[in-house]
Structure formats: structure tokens, C-alpha cells
Structure 1
């Protein structure tokens, strides 16, 4: 039987979600990564980024869903997270179909 990993705190979960948003169009640009780095301390970013790089999209979504169960987000926190997600999507000034798809999936998971 596999032990469940320690749940992430809200900052770690937010960082992971933003990394998924950045890579939705297959490549996370340097500008997207730099934006995400402004939202987390270096240790948290590096820890989550190293884990994120190893995961498939399906594994990422499963981890997000599993970790959302541990946190009660207020409406204000969810609105702020959505705003940050859209800031990452908007870095390249285009909202690709793949980004729209991830946005829709994450919207369903968050609400």
C-alpha cells in the first residue's frame, strides 16, 4: 500500500496550479516562470517546480484535486487565484485553446 504524500500548503498548491497554467500550451515561457516566481519564495518555487516537471498533465490534475480537499478557500481567495491564473495565461497575449481547456478543468475543480 502506497503512503499518501504530505498535503501541500496553500502557497505550494497555488504555485503548482500556476505552473500547470503556464505549461498548458505545452511550453512554459520564461516570462510565465518569472511571473510565478514573484508569487512564491524561492524554496517553495523550486520544490514545487521540481515536482511539477516530473508529472504528466493527468497526474498534475489529480494532485491538484487531492490537495484542494485539504483547504477551505474563501470566495475572495478563489477570485484572487483565478486572477493570478489568468495573468499567467495572458503573459503571451494569447489565450490558446489548450489554455482555455485547462482553465475550464481547473474552474470545475476549484468550484
Structure 2
């Protein structure tokens, strides 16, 4: 199913990806949300968070893939994405199987 995907700013895409990482283990912690909200203003976070919550997992991955390809990212920007994703994954001190699976999916999308 292909739908029209709105283009986000790089920051909005970053927030969306980090929300996906925070939800990888089906448990969004206060610490993870705090880590994400520290990067953006409240209105932008709420806009992206509400969209994220309304999307299915397939839609989430499709939106990320579409938006990654609409921006020209440097290798440094992509490496920063990966580093921030790992901070979210390891914020609870564990790297669960579902987080590992998402990590591999993100590797395929981002590189």
C-alpha cells in the first residue's frame, strides 16, 4: 500500500526515527521520551508523536525510507542517527531482540 508521504524536515525525521527506536521493545520509557524531547520544541514533538502513534509499523518504516531518500544526508549525519538510536536502545541497559531487529532494519534503510 503506497500513500502520499509528507516530507519532513531533517529534525522531524530524526524525532520520528527515535520514537520508533523507543517503541522497538513495545515499552516507551519516560527516560526515552525525555531524551527525544530534549532535541526539539514541544509543538514539533507533539506533531510527530501524534503522527507516529497513528501509523502502523509498515507505514512507519515506509515514511522513514521515503523521507531519508528525499534529503541529502552526509555520512556524518547518518552516523549521528545511528548513535542516537543506540542511546535510545541502551537507555534501559538492555538490547532486546526486537531492538536488535529494528537496528538491522535501520541499517538497511539508512545505508
3-state secondary structure, aligned to 1:91: helix
Q: Deviations over 1:65-111 (max 9, x none)?
A: 11111101101111111110000001100000000000100110000
Distance 2:89 2:59 in 1: 21
* Alignment RMSD: 1.3
Give the 4+ runs in structure 1 shifted more than 2 A. 2-6
Q: Is the 8 A contact 2:12 2:44 kept in 1?
A: yes
1:47 alignment partner in structure 2: 47
* Structure-2-length-normalised TM-score: 0.94
* Structure-1-length-normalised TM-score: 0.94
3-state secondary structure, aligned to 2:59: helix
Q: Give ranges in structure 2 of 5+ residues lacking alignment.
A: none
Q: Number of residue pairs matched?
A: 110
